[in-house]
Amino acid sequence: MTELLLQTAVNAVYAASYTALVAVGLVLIFGVMGIVNFAHGELYMLGAYCVVAVYAKGEMPFVFAAVAGVAAVALVGAGMERGLFRPLRGNPLGGLVASIGFLLILQAAVSIVFGVRPQHIPPLTKTVIPLGEVTVPLQRLIVIVAAAVLLSALWWFLRRTRTGWALRACAQDPEAAALQGISLNKAARLAMAAGAGLAGAAGVLAAPLIPPAPLMGHPVIVAAFVVIIVGGVGNLEGAAIAAVLYAFVHTFTTTFADGVIADITVLTLMLAVLIMRPTGIFGSQERA
Amino acid sequence: MHSRAQKRLAAAAAVCALLALPHALTFSQKEIAVFLVINVLVVVSYRFLTLVGEWSLGHVVMTGAGAYASALLSKRLGVPVPLAMPLAACAAAAIAYLLSFPLLRMKGFYFLIGSFAAGEIMRLLWKRFHNPFGGPKGIKNIPEFPGIDIGFVSVDFFEPENYYYLCLAIVAASLWIMRRLEHSPLGLTFHAVHWRDLTAQSVGVNVRRCRTVAFVAASFFAGLSGALLAHYVGAISPNRFGIDEMVFVLAWVVAGGTATIYGPIAGVVALTAINEVVLRELGFEQARPLFYGAALIASVLFLPRGLETFAPRITALFRR
């Protein structure tokens, strides 16, 4: 029994790591631009398909695929900012609707190019590391470590660099930030590229373990919404903590009940937070 | 279209066209026409909620609630279908009333997400519980609308043509009721609640009650549309009422615009026509999401108030 509990906990940490990457990116975009990017799950999906194209089909090293995936998705994100969100600034509903439209386009484009079937990706390594009573596949450990590194890098960037400060200034008060000579367009582009890049990184990391399929972004975006609501909309640290909370609740309920019950549980949790504490468990009014 | 006579003439022409429509269509096109009429009720009821300024992501699940209620009432409890349909609409309205207590505490983005969560929970419950909801496969062999057979007249509602007329009558009546509601003093207050809720509150408008009425009424008609759908297709499943379907409804409403009742109707008719005629005939069925995605983006970028903004421009052309 303890073995099962420990094994489930390890699986939860793994799920938490890529959920956190997606959710933190979503929070960053919302914080700086005030737009809810519904296509975020599809950016994650796009990252996974970069691995399909470069690593599985192109037979190049995984590291190339990872770099290409993150860069390509970040570029798509910057393009979305320029083409969709910039013309719709000051119209949050419009931005949201446009991102829903973009989501449909990405899904359709990927199913036309790659087909709707889940893609097989050869495992990176089959090494399994025994950790006391439980075993951790090295592959999952890589995902956990990479996510932790990326999130720490983002935290350092936002708290310790001038550009990071500028981004946070835009999140707190766009007008005041503009008066200080910070370009809102540049900040938005950077936030969008970074947020999309994080989603792409999550997709790249998840690809060897979750067979990429055109609709794979759907459960992830639902998870990300639960996480940002529970963690407090616009709160980066809250999102990271909530991602861990979400992953533990979801993984344990899936293991001990079933997947549908787990979905119902986390959605109920989110609804409860929305009703009782609309700013989230860790929330304050401040953004990013 | 200014004088009363001209308006009446236009309305009469529209009615004649709608009545004559099935005779000009093939069998499969008639089926599409039935779905189109049902979807008109879905989008117009969706617009009814947007009158108070809220955008829901749970509306399609409300149509599902009507569909499940009507199917269960008629199949399990043996309630006659013509009675089960309004009862199902009432069931959807009752569910909406219960949900209004948590959901209407929220506004804007929070309401959007909250309505998604509530709807998804309900849909997952249908998926999870085989008794009575039938699990992921849903409910099959739903009784059809009973035919009318009085000697010399016999009408079989299994025929798409006849079901089209039945839907047309029910939907027309529903649209008329929603229109009357919108133009009643209560409906006019909805605008105040939408644009100036604090001001409205300060002059004694019960904002919460207005929002509840809009949500419950919208869900009532959504439930009715679901019941119409269930007894026509004969089988429903949780996946039919998922977020994918909701995105299509959103596309119809956004493309059409929400300022008048004609906007969503124009949106659903135009996008369905393009989808069915162009994409299906040319064999691009799998490009459907691509087309709807492009339609959503194009409408928010270039046509922010929807297709309905064309109507005054076109009438202006004719007036010259």
Nearest CB to B290; choose among A108, A267, A268:
A108
| B44-103 residue pLDDT tens | 999 999 999 889 999 999 999 999 999 999 998 988 989 999 999 999 999 999 999 989
Q: Range of B57's domain? A: 28-239
DSSP state of B22: G
Same domain, B291 and B201: no
Per-residue pLDDT, averaged over B248-253, amounts to 92
DSSP strands (E only) in chain A: 128-131, 134-137
The partner residues of B148 in beta bridges, in order of sequence, read: B155
B297 to A274: CB separation less than 8 angstroms, yes or no: no
Q: What are the CA-CA distances from residue B194 to residues B85, B115, B199, B208, B214 (Å)? A: 31, 18, 11, 11, 11
How many other CB atoms are there within 10 angstroms of residue B21's CB atom? 17
With cut-offs at 50, 70 and 90, classify the pLDDT of residue A278: low
Backbone angles phi, psi at B236, to 5 degrees: -130, 150
| Per-residue pLDDT, B6 | 80
Alpha-carbon distance of A15 to A146, in angstroms, equals 13
- CB B196, CB B189: distance < 8 Å: no
The single residue listed with the structure tokens 């009429």 is B37
Same domain, B194 and B170: yes
Q: What is the ipTM of this complex?
A: 0.87
**A131 shares contact with chain B (CB less than 8 Å):** no
pLDDT above 70 for B314: no
Which residues, other chains included, contact B125 with Cβ-Cβ below 8 Å and sequence gap of 6+?
A264, B133
Per-residue pLDDT, averaged over B191-210, amounts to 88
The answer to whether residue B186 is domain-embedded is: yes
* Structure tokens belonging to residue A168: 């946070």
Amino acid at position B110, single letter? Y
pLDDT above 60 for A204: yes
* Peptide bond before residue B289 is cis, with ω within 30 degrees of 0: no
pLDDT above 80 for B279: no
| A213-262 residue pLDDT tens | 998 988 899 999 899 888 877 778 888 899 999 999 999 999 888 888 99
* Structure tokens belonging to residue A65: 């695929």
**A225 shares contact with chain B (CB less than 8 Å):** yes
DSSP state of A37: -
| Per-residue pLDDT, B84 | 93
Alpha-carbon distance of B227 to B70, in angstroms, equals 6
| A159-172 residue pLDDT tens | 899 999 998 888 88
* Structure tokens belonging to residue A182: 């910070």
- CB A266, CB A254: distance < 8 Å: no
Nearest CB to B247; choose among A104, A111, A264:
A104
* Domain end among B215, B239, B263: B239
* Structure tokens belonging to residue A258: 């079933």
Same domain, B207 and B310: no
- Any alpha helices (H) in B51-138, and if so which ranges? 59-76, 81-103, 108-128, 130-133
B121 to A264: CB separation less than 8 angstroms, yes or no: yes
| B51-61 residue pLDDT tens | 998 899 999 99
| Per-residue pLDDT, A284 | 56
Buried b (16+ CB within 10 A) or exposed e, B136-158: eebbeebbbbeeeeeeeeebebe
Number of compact structural domains in chain B: 2
- A42 compared with A238, residue with greater pLDDT: A42
The answer to whether residue B67 is domain-embedded is: yes
Note the residue count of chain B.
320
CA end-to-end span of chain A? 41
| B122-180 residue pLDDT tens | 999 999 988 888 888 889 888 888 887 777 777 778 788 889 999 999 999 999 999 99
* Structure tokens belonging to residue B182: 């919108």
B113 to A278: CB separation less than 8 angstroms, yes or no: no
Same domain, B213 and B70: yes
The answer to whether residue B286 is domain-embedded is: yes
* Structure tokens belonging to residue A122: 């050869």
Alpha-carbon distance of B58 to B118, in angstroms, equals 7
B128 to A112: CB separation less than 8 angstroms, yes or no: no
- CB B218, CB B129: distance < 8 Å: no
- CB A201, CB A69: distance < 8 Å: yes
Nearest CB to B110; choose among A104, A105, A274:
A274
Nearest chain A CA: its distance from B124 CA (Å): 7
**B110 shares contact with chain A (CB less than 8 Å):** yes
Same domain, B250 and B220: no
* Domain end among B199, B215, B239: B239
B106 to A274: CB separation less than 8 angstroms, yes or no: yes
Q: What is the CATH number of domain A2-116+132-276?
A: 1.10.3470
A97 to B125: CB separation less than 8 angstroms, yes or no: no
Alpha-carbon distance of A41 to A214, in angstroms, equals 10
> How large is the angle between the packed helices A236-256 and A217-231, nearest 10 degrees?
120
Q: Give me the sign of the Cα torsion angle B280, B285, B291, B296.
A: positive
| Per-residue pLDDT, B7 | 79
Alpha-carbon distance of B318 to B320, in angstroms, equals 5
Alpha-carbon distance of A18 to A210, in angstroms, equals 11
Nearest chain A CA: its distance from B98 CA (Å): 14
The answer to whether residue B15 is domain-embedded is: no
Alpha-carbon distance of B44 to B172, in angstroms, equals 11
B294 to A36: CB separation less than 8 angstroms, yes or no: no
Same domain, B75 and B157: yes
The answer to whether residue B9 is domain-embedded is: no
With cut-offs at 50, 70 and 90, classify the pLDDT of residue B320: low
Same domain, B74 and B163: yes
pLDDT above 50 for B41: yes
Chain centroid to CA B59: 9
Question: What are the extents of the domains in chain A?
Answer: 2-116+132-276
**A92 shares contact with chain B (CB less than 8 Å):** yes
Q: Give me the sign of the Cα torsion angle A98, A101, A102, A103.
A: positive
No. of H helices and E strands in chain A?
11, 2
With cut-offs at 50, 70 and 90, classify the pLDDT of residue A286: very low
Helix (H, G, I), strand (E, B), or coil: what is residue A277? coil
- CB A140, CB A125: distance < 8 Å: no
Q: Are strands B148-150 and B153-155 parallel, antiparallel or unpaired?
A: antiparallel
| Per-residue pLDDT, B2 | 60
A268 to B304: CB separation less than 8 angstroms, yes or no: no
Backbone angles phi, psi at A153, to 5 degrees: -60, -45
The answer to whether residue B6 is domain-embedded is: no
* Domain end among B182, B212, B239: B239
The single residue listed with the structure tokens 């993150």 is A70
How would you class B203 by CB atoms within 10 Å of its CB: exposed for 0-12, middle for 13-18, buried for 19 or more? exposed
Same domain, B184 and B304: no
Same domain, B142 and B283: no
Residues of A in contact with B292 (CB under 8 A): 101, 104
**A60 shares contact with chain B (CB less than 8 Å):** no
Helix (H, G, I), strand (E, B), or coil: what is residue A207? coil
Per-residue pLDDT, averaged over B168-195, amounts to 91
Same domain, B114 and B224: yes
The answer to whether residue B295 is domain-embedded is: yes
Percent of chain A clearing pLDDT 90 (strictly above): 42
| Per-residue pLDDT, A287 | 45
pLDDT above 80 for B316: no
- CB B46, CB B218: distance < 8 Å: yes
| Per-residue pLDDT, B319 | 64
The answer to whether residue B16 is domain-embedded is: no
Nearest CB to A100; choose among B110, B124, B296:
B296
Same domain, B106 and B131: yes
Same domain, B266 and B138: no
* Structure tokens belonging to residue B274: 């393009």
- CB A192, CB A35: distance < 8 Å: no
From B224, B236, B232, B85, select the one nearest B159 (Cα to Cα): B232
A84 to B297: CB separation less than 8 angstroms, yes or no: yes
From B125, B133, B119, select the one nearest B63 (Cα to Cα): B119
Note the residue count of chain A.
288
By CA distance, what is A279's nearest residue in B? B110
pLDDT above 80 for A72: yes
Residues of A in contact with B297 (CB under 8 A): 84, 98, 101-102, 105
